[in-house]
Amino acid sequence: MAEENGQSYIDYDAFVDPDFSPTSFANSLVIATNNPSDIPIDLSTPLSRVLFDIQEIDTHIHTLTTKSAIPLLTHTKDQADAGQRIVDEVEAQIASLTDGYQRLQKEVIQRYEEADQVRIAAERLWETVRIGRSVTRCLTLGRQLETQMTEVGGSAASGAQAKQEDHRAMVRASNTLLSVRHILAGSGPDEEGEHLSKIDLITYLQNSVLTPAETSLRNRAQQVIREFSMSSLAPSSNAPATYAQSEETKSRTTSALLTLQILNPRLLLAALQAYLRTSLTSSMASIARALGNLPTLDRTLLEVSARCQNIAALESLLDSIKPPQVDSTYSTGREEEQAGNLLEPLLVALDTSSLPSFFWRSLAEGLAPRVGDLVSKGGVSARALKTQRERVKDSIRECVLRGSQSPGGIRGKAGAWEREAAVMVGSVTGSLGR
């Protein structure tokens, strides 16, 4: 560049300097061609100088490109030829890859797509088979449940071949019903009951077999518990007259208790509490009436003793029955799971240690205000009650001690029943004064 600049008056170094400023260069040209004192500034001279310099530079560029044209063209041609060779080589490789892909598509991808279709078909067939097996199992259990419900209610045939009612079938039917419910409840992915809710036959099974069977079992078991009676103190159509009848009553009640426990432990708890509540309500009303009509007191107290004996017999029966082993899905709480017998959850719910004790203390709590109302009204009944206070006291005490004894065939818990007797006597005589 220095050699070429030696034949030119243009200062190329100044133009290629990174700090070159066009404004400063134009200002220096104007000052060099004009006097500072001139008012009109002559711009034609510096402009001619710039145009001349541009023409000189253009001529110089033209000269350089003319001299280097052949090397530049040669270099360009070499680069183009090299690029073409690369393109040819790449096209060959692309053609090879294309052939390989087409062969891969034919030998692998198409076969994979065909195999994938087969896989989808197999999965759908397996899903169909699985649903079919679940439906078949539900229908089989439904048929088994219908047969068991027939055994529960006895056959409709007449004559000597008619089958009698089998209360043990209630437990078998409850287990069968629980098995079907377990299948239908498992409706999650890959579970046995998946998609069963969409099948009309299963919906029909639920509506026509499962729900009526569950309702029938529940009602029948609750009825057996409501009618439970073991005492022979007072005449009752439900009380057993012989040892065999007594054992049959216990067996039938056991089946009813287990049935409700299997269906839902809360149902059993509610049925037992209803039984106790009914006994308390009846006893409270009858004693209140008898205290206003003392000639009927002995018979009424005998009936109350019989109810308490039934409660004591029920307590002994509950204490001897262990909860059945059922699937944890239908467990309602840790208390039922850990209970050693059917009595413990009931005692926990009632917050008591003994059912007869609960009966007498609850009865005393309800009698006290009624006796107070009877005395406050006055009249013949109140005077007779005060006059025969000692007789009433002894009768109530005997009623408690007699009722706290379990009926024959069932051994009840031993307890300090004198406390319950004192509570009952106090609830009646406490309002009579001295």
Give residue 194's pLDDT: 77
The per-residue pLDDT for 241 is 60
pLDDT score of 9 more than 70: yes
In this model, does residue 367 exceed pLDDT 70? yes
Q: How confident is the model at residue 434 (pLDDT cuts 50, 70, 90)?
A: low
Please write the tens of the pLDDT for every residue from 15-27: 788 888 888 888 8
Q: What is the pLDDT of residues 206-262, one digit of tens each?
A: 999 999 999 999 999 999 999 998 877 755 556 666 788 888 989 999 999 999 999
State which of 254-258, 322-326, 390-394 shows the largest mean pLDDT.
254-258
| pLDDT tens readout for residues 158-213 | 343 345 678 899 999 999 999 999 988 887 777 777 778 888 888 999 999 999 99
Residue 169 near residue 151, CB atoms below 8 Å: yes
What is the structure's pLDDT at 47?
A: 85
Look at residues 280, 272, 117, 146 and name the one whose alpha carbon lies nearest to residue 217: 146
Among the residue ranges 48-62, 198-212, 327-341, 362-376, the one predicted with the least confidence is 327-341
Average pLDDT over residues 21-50: 81
pLDDT in the model for residue 231: 77
Residue 186 CA to residue 198 CA, distance in Å, equals: 14
Structure confidence by residue, pLDDT tens digits, 285-306: 999 999 888 899 999 999 999 9
Q: Helix 243-263 vs helix 168-185: angle between axes, to the nearest 10 degrees?
A: 10
